[in-house]
Chain A
Amino acid sequence: MNKHILVVDDEPDIRELLTEFLGQNNYRISTVPNAHEAQRAVEKDPPDLIITDLQLEDTDGLEMIQHLRATLPQTPVLLLTGVYIDPKVVRETLGGKIGAYLQKTTPLATILEEVRNLIGK
């Protein structure tokens, strides 16, 4: 059965592109635009991976992840954002919260590679 990925991003284009791309690579994709719907989505259909933006409509991605940990303590998270974060910060501050951090300018192939690193094919 295909691995399930939940994409949380307030931009429809991002959600659409990730759905198309990851779907082509045999992943099952669900998308939501905000943290509130993300909470409902994980309760209804727990994902194998969460890809989230940092800046959301109703909260930021890191805070949402903190809340989701109550439901999904082990599910890896890929932070995909346009905000540049210093690698050292990522390593020392966010390392415990997220599995990986990528900028939105990262090529899709690299994103796919990171996804495979986190949950396999």
Chain B
Amino acid sequence: MRVSFIHRLPVHLASIILLLGFLTIPIISEFRSKAMEEIVLHQAEMQSATATLALVDGLQNVLRSVDTNVRYLARDLEDRALTPAEVDRIIHNVMAGTPDFCEFSISFEPHALSPGLERFGQHLYRSGDHFLARDLAAPAYQYWTKDWYNDALGRGEVNWSEPFFDRDEANANVVRISAPFYRTENGHRVAAGVVSAGLELRWVRRLTEENPFFDTGYVIIFSPEGRLIAHPNPNYVFTETMESLAQKSGTPELEQIHQRVRARRQGALSYFSNTFHHRVHESYKPVAVSGWGVVVGYDENEFLQPVRYIRWITIGTLAATLALLSVIVLLATRVALRPLVTLAAIAQEIGQGNLDHEILPPSRPDEIGQLTRAFLLIQATLKQNRALETNARERAVETVAANEKLKSQILERRWVNQALEHQLRYDQLIVNSISDLVFVVTKSVNISRINPAVVQLTGWEAIDLVNSPLARVVRLEAGGSKGDTLTQALSAGHDVRDCPAEIVDRHGGRISVRLTLFPLRDRDKVVGGVVILRALSS
């Protein structure tokens, strides 16, 4: 029986290797890729955190210098007696010496500058390459009604405003820093006014653009109220807040980041961004000086793509290696198992009863050799068993035949016995039914049997007469010894017919009869005779 290709052992082994490989390779590859992704993402997170820290430091450097400048100017004005002209000169000097400022103002509490002057507020802003002045106490403005002024006084320290677009003067995004200054009256420190500087925010955008955080990196900067100061999408800047963007894009993580930054916390989040339409990682950190929040984010795919590429390379390499290994296994096992194929053919021959199939003695000491020796032993043993079996079968057949023959003989014997018995019984019936007196005699004319008619007529029983000479009870009336006559007739094989005779009964009475003798022949040899006496009627 030829084994089909797919059922061959080498094919099985190769298939198992392939199957196990295709089951395990994806698992190993996936596990390895996941581990690599974890490592890469962790490294990216570290870089992102570092970049966030660097950006916040850069921001703080600028903002702190502004903050420090404003504080310094406010402190410089404390308890200082000034005239409006001096105030104007200070303002000009500050603007000329501080290019970061797009505007600067000094505003006073009522009568703080001069007892005769209730309100004074002077403001200078850049317009091109020169400065323009503005009276903040003018009815059209009235600085004491503005938040930047009241908030600074109310808080008693430097106050950073929400960034805003200064349409009237700077025509740019601006944040205003205000600081109160004081004077001492009667030993008490009382508010004298507010120093306020405007900081144009173009540099913020430049700063974020100067920090290329990865290929897909981006920066979001937002104010304490969440207003977007910097965002990859310029349309969102100053038009959206973290909250509005969170709602608009369905990204609650943005609001979460804002809340954490407001709580002065830093950290990182990974989530699917509906704004960028991919999974992003964002590190966030508050800016201590202004209360702003900085978010540095990147697309995780930027780092995962190389890993995934490596994964496919790995899978391909492993699959190719596996396929090559399968071919090697296929070829190697075919070579290794060739003797087994021969042994299988031998086993098949033996299984089909061909015990005379030649098995070459093994020439190798390995397991194949052992198996061949075992086959030789099996073949020899089976031959021996077959001979024994054949012998036993023949003996069994002979025994069965003998048994059948014996049974047949026994049956035949039983049949013969019953036939003889039947015949004897039938003969007895015939003899007993004869009304004449019948004596069966031996060749010496001794009585061997009588019929019931003898008993009935003479009173003699068989026990009285059997083995006695016939002459004891029967006598021929003709001369001569009747015994001699009958003996001679038997010896010669002649009949004696209808001779007058008499029979003596049990009581000595004599009855006249006619005697007939027939010799009994057995295969032409006279073995006895039958004497029939017919009683004569009286």
Taking a contact as CB atoms under 8 Å apart, the answer to whether A105 and B426 are in contact is no
Taking a contact as CB atoms under 8 Å apart, the answer to whether B412 and A13 are in contact is no
Q: Which residue of B lies closest to A105 (CB)?
A: B419
Query: Per-residue CB proximity of A1-33 to B under 8 Å, as 1/0?
Result: 000000000010110010011001000000000
Query: Per-residue CB proximity of A41-58 to B under 8 Å, as 1/0?
Result: 000000000000000000
**How many B residues, CB 8 Å from partner?**
13
Query: Per-residue CB proximity of B396-416 to A under 8 Å, as 1/0?
Result: 000000000001100110111
Q: Which 6 A-B pairs have the closest CB atoms?
A: A105-B419, A104-B419, A82-B422, A13-B418, A82-B426, A108-B415
Asked if A83 CB lies within 8 Å of chain B CBs, one says yes
Asked if A107 CB lies within 8 Å of chain B CBs, one says yes
Q: How far is the CA of A76 from the CA of B100 in the complex (A)?
A: 147
Asked if A70 CB lies within 8 Å of chain B CBs, one says no
Contact A107/B416 with A11-B422, A82-B423, A82-B426 known, Cβ cut-off 8 Å = yes
Q: A14-B422, A82-B423 are in contact. List 9 more A-B contacts (CB 8 A).
A: A17-B414, A17-B415, A17-B418, A21-B411, A21-B415, A82-B419, A104-B419, A105-B423, A108-B411
Asked if A109 CB lies within 8 Å of chain B CBs, one says yes
Taking a contact as CB atoms under 8 Å apart, the answer to whether B412 and A107 are in contact is yes
A56 to B: closest C-beta gap in Å: 14
**In the assembled complex, which residues on chain B have CB atoms less than 8 Å from the CB atom of A82?**
419, 422-423, 426
Interface residue ranges of A99-114 to B (CB < 8 Å):
103-109
Interface residue ranges of B410-454 to A (CB < 8 Å):
411-412, 414-416, 418-420, 422-423, 426
B243 to A: closest C-beta gap in Å: 105
Taking a contact as CB atoms under 8 Å apart, the answer to whether A109 and B412 are in contact is yes
**In the assembled complex, which residues on chain B have CB atoms less than 8 Å from the CB atom of A20?**
411
Q: Which residue of B lies closest to A17 (CB)?
A: B415
**In the assembled complex, which residues on chain B have CB atoms less than 8 Å from the CB atom of A13?**
414, 418
Q: How far is the CA of A21 from the CA of B408 in the complex (A)?
A: 8
Taking a contact as CB atoms under 8 Å apart, the answer to whether B418 and A14 are in contact is yes
- Tell me which of A83, A103, A104, A108 contacts B412 (CB under 8 A): A108
**In the assembled complex, which residues on chain A have CB atoms less than 8 Å from the CB atom of B419?**
82, 103-106
User: Could you pull out 26 A-B pairs where Cβ atoms are within 8 angstroms?
Assistant: A11-B418, A11-B422, A13-B418, A14-B418, A14-B422, A17-B418, A24-B407, A24-B408, A24-B411, A82-B422, A82-B423, A82-B426, A83-B426, A104-B419, A104-B423, A105-B416, A105-B419, A105-B423, A106-B419, A107-B412, A107-B415, A107-B416, A108-B408, A108-B411, A108-B412, A108-B415
**In the assembled complex, which residues on chain B have CB atoms less than 8 Å from the CB atom of A14?**
418, 422
**In the assembled complex, which residues on chain A have CB atoms less than 8 Å from the CB atom of B415?**
17, 21, 107-108
**In the assembled complex, which residues on chain A have CB atoms less than 8 Å from the CB atom of B411?**
17, 20-21, 24, 108
Q: Which residue of B lies closest to A107 (CB)?
A: B412
**In the assembled complex, which residues on chain B have CB atoms less than 8 Å from the CB atom of A104?**
418-419, 422-423
**In the assembled complex, which residues on chain A have CB atoms less than 8 Å from the CB atom of B423?**
82, 104-105
A115 to B: closest C-beta gap in Å: 14
Taking a contact as CB atoms under 8 Å apart, the answer to whether B414 and A105 are in contact is no
Taking a contact as CB atoms under 8 Å apart, the answer to whether A105 and B412 are in contact is no
**In the assembled complex, which residues on chain A have CB atoms less than 8 Å from the CB atom of B408?**
24, 108
**In the assembled complex, which residues on chain B have CB atoms less than 8 Å from the CB atom of A21?**
411, 415
Q: Which residue of A lies closest to B414 (CB)?
A: A17
Q: Which residue of A lies closest to B413 (CB)?
A: A108
B418 to A: closest C-beta gap in Å: 5
Query: Per-residue CB proximity of A67-91 to B under 8 Å, as 1/0?
Result: 0000000000000001100000000
Q: How far is the CA of A82 from the CA of B411 in the complex (A)?
A: 18
B131 to A: closest C-beta gap in Å: 139
**In the assembled complex, which residues on chain B have CB atoms less than 8 Å from the CB atom of A17?**
411, 414-415, 418
